Structure 1
Amino acid sequence: MVEATFDCLSEPHEGPVHVSAILARAEVSSRAFYRHFESKDELFLAMLEQVTERLAVVLDEIAGAPAPDPLNQLRAWLDQMFALATETDLHRNLAVLDCDEMRSAKGYREARTRSRARRERSLATILRSGHADGSFPLAEPESDAIAIAALVSRELTSARIFDPAEIALSRARVERFTLRALGVAGKV
């Protein structure tokens, strides 16, 4: 049902996608739908959770590396975030998650806030490690994580990110800015 919903929402359509269209695409009955979800909003929140959880797990693994190397962890975190622009299926799913119909789901804002906070938490872990070992002397981990994640999100939602040549340039701009802000000398 989740994949059918992604398919329905990613295709051109007018007005809201009806549950009946999702059920037809998924080839399931309304009984099957309501066994899993109380409403379309609940389905939408499950979709958001599924996609953002996959990303959060990868980011947490980067932040929790057994032998921390904060600079390389930061670069890996940025690489993973910018990979969102190149992974076609994931990019499509993220675009669906940000469509008007999804955003209107009851509880969407809160779920999106939790997702963003989890990404920021993994980044803050990396920044704390770098601040502690001197790699990021100017780091203020919690507030910098919020700012860096916001910058990444802004870059990932810009119109130019759909041009493959711009993805690497955008990623490099974010890294240069981030390293300067964290006080990293000579590696910018």
Structure 2
Amino acid sequence: MMDKTEQIFKGAISVFIKKGMQGTTQEVAKEAGVAEVTLYRRYSTKENLFITVIKHVLEKKFESKVLKIAKEDDTELFLMNIIEDRLEILSKNYELVRMLLSESLRGNLTDKINLPEIIFSSLKKGLEYHFERKGQQVDIDFCARQLGGVFLSYLILPNDQQFNKLTIQERRDIAKKHAKSILSTI
């Protein structure tokens, strides 16, 4: 059985995915199976609830493995692993990510839960770490933007199949193509 916080988070995610910040605490309470007063006691405002829930999800689902991946000596393999990892996570959480991008474009998200900023800053840290270890001078900002463009294209542009539903070989082939493309510009 779920504890009350988990119940609230699950209900809130469900409502926020469907309605973004427009979702009401009444809808969240109903979805979570708790009294609306419980939400107010715990979070005081809908905005606090949204921030708390989204921050929890981002830390849990989008916790960056980029620095671990950045230890790879082979730059092409490093880029392939980042691309595969991020596309896998983004595609598995497609609806949530689309909602967060939408709310971000509306200016409704703080830096703590701004998904594009979180992705971009973690990419830059990983790239800086990797290229410093190799002693290479690379335009980190440009490289991170290229990677960000790859990720956004898989979220926004139509795909025949979600990345996480492709075979392992198909994922590797896609990651390799993008890695080679990025490598050719650095």
TM-score scaled to structure 2, two decimals?
0.70
- Deviations 1:78-132 (Å, cap 9, x if unpaired)? 1111113542xx2222123233499553xx14231651323322233223334x1
Paired with 2:124 and 2:160, the residues of 1 have a C-alpha distance of 24
**In the alignment, what sits opposite 2:152?**
154
Paired residues of 1:9 and 1:17 also in contact (CA < 8 A): yes
Correspondence for 2:94 among 91, 94, 97: 91
Identity of aligned residues (%): 11
Correspondence for 2:73 among 58, 69, 73: 69
Q: Does 1:48 align with 2:48?
A: no
Q: Does 1:24 align with 2:23?
A: no
* Aligned 1:112-131 pairs, distance under 5 A: 112=114, 114-115=117-118, 116-130=120-134
Paired with 1:173 and 1:104, the residues of 2 have a C-alpha distance of 33
Paired with 2:106 and 2:39, the residues of 1 have a C-alpha distance of 21
TM-score scaled to structure 1, two decimals?
0.69
Q: Bigger relative contact order, structure 1 or 2, given CA contacts below 8 A and separation 6+?
A: 2
* Unaligned stretches of 5+ residues in structure 2: 1-7
One-letter amino acid of the structure 2 residue matched with residue 158 of structure 1: I
- Deviations 1:23-67 (Å, cap 9, x if unpaired)? 11111223321333232222222233233324233223323x4xx
Paired residues of 2:29 and 2:39 also in contact (CA < 8 A): yes
One-letter amino acid of the structure 1 residue matched with residue 138 of structure 2: A
Q: Does 1:139 align with 2:146?
A: no
